[in-house]
Amino acid sequence: MAITKIDLAHAEGDFISQIADLKKRLNALERQAIKVDENDFTLPVGGISVKNGFLTLGVPDEIDIDAGRIWVSKSYVYVNTEALAAADNLDFIYMVPDDDTKSPPDGTLLVLQAADTTNTVTLRDQTGIGGVGNLQLTVATRVLDSDADTIMLIFNAVLNEWNQLSYASNA
C-alpha cells in the first residue's frame, strides 16, 4: 500500500492537534501545581501559602451556625450566629461537603474567629453538655463576642473530636 501526500498531510494535522491538546493540558496542570521557590510556596486551593517562613491560611469563609453546627471547607473561618441572632451555641464542626459523619484528617488545624462584635458565639465543650458535640475545650465554654476573638483547634481522628490548642479573647 502506497502512502500518499494526502495521508501524510492528514497524519501531520492529527499530530499537530495532539501537540496543541497536550500543551493545553500542561498549562492547566501548571496552574494547579504547587508553586515553589527558594523561600515560598503556594498551594493551588484555599489560598494557603508560606511566604518567608510565615504560614498564611488565605481569606476566611464566613459561616453561620445551623442548629449548633457548622460545616467548614477551609482552615480559617469567621463564625456567625444562626439567622444573626444575638447569641448562639456551637457544639459540632464538620467538613464540607458532606453530612454529619464527615471527619477531617487527623491533625487538621482550624482557626475560628468571631464574624463581628454584635453577635456572641459560644463554643461548648462536649463534656459540659452531656457528651453531645465534638469539641474538647480546656474549659466548659469559649466565647467569641468580638471580631478579634479567636480559637485554634486541631482534629483528633482517634477520638473524632476537635481539641483546643489556643484561645484569645481580645475584646
User: pLDDT tens, 85-100?
Assistant: 999 999 999 988 655 5
Q: Do 24 and 71 share a domain, yes or no? A: no
- Other Cβ atoms within 10 Å of 77 Cβ, number: 21
Q: Which domain holds residue 9?
A: 1-33
Q: What is the mean pLDDT of residues 125-143?
A: 86
The answer, yes or no, to whether residue 171 has pLDDT greater than 80, is no
Residue 14 maps to a domain: yes
Residue 143 maps to a domain: yes
pLDDT-based confidence at residue 154 (cuts at 50, 70, 90): very high
Residue type, 36: V
d(CA 77, CA 127): 24
The conformation of residue 118, written as its DSSP 8-state character, comes to S
Residue 3 maps to a domain: yes
User: pLDDT tens, 37-84?
Assistant: 666 666 656 667 777 778 888 889 999 999 999 999 889 999 999 999
Cβ proximity of 73 and 61 under 8 Å:
yes
Q: What is the pLDDT of residue 99?
A: 54
Q: Do 94 and 23 share a domain, yes or no? A: no
Name the H helices within the chain. 5-32
The x, y and z cell numbers of residue 112, run together, are: 475560628
Q: Do 26 and 67 share a domain, yes or no? A: no
Domain count within the chain:
2
The answer, yes or no, to whether residue 128 has pLDDT greater than 90, is no
User: pLDDT tens, 9-23?
Assistant: 666 777 788 887 887
d(CA 66, CA 69): 5
Q: What is the pLDDT of residue 24?
A: 78
Q: Do 23 and 64 share a domain, yes or no? A: no
Residue 47 maps to a domain: no
CA angle 60, 63, 65 (to 5 degrees): 150
How much is the mean pLDDT over the chain?
A: 83
Q: Do 29 and 82 share a domain, yes or no? A: no
Cβ proximity of 139 and 125 under 8 Å:
yes
Residue 134 maps to a domain: yes
The x, y and z cell numbers of residue 136, run together, are: 474538647
Q: Do 27 and 60 share a domain, yes or no? A: no
Residue 45 maps to a domain: no
Which residues partner with 94 through β-bridges? 71
136 φ/ψ angles, rounded to the nearest 5 degrees: -115, 100
pTM over 0.85: no
What is the side-by-side order of every strand in the sheet holding 141-144? 87-90, 120-124, 141-144
Cβ proximity of 135 and 123 under 8 Å:
yes
Q: Do 88 and 15 share a domain, yes or no? A: no
Residue corresponding to grid cell 481522628: 157
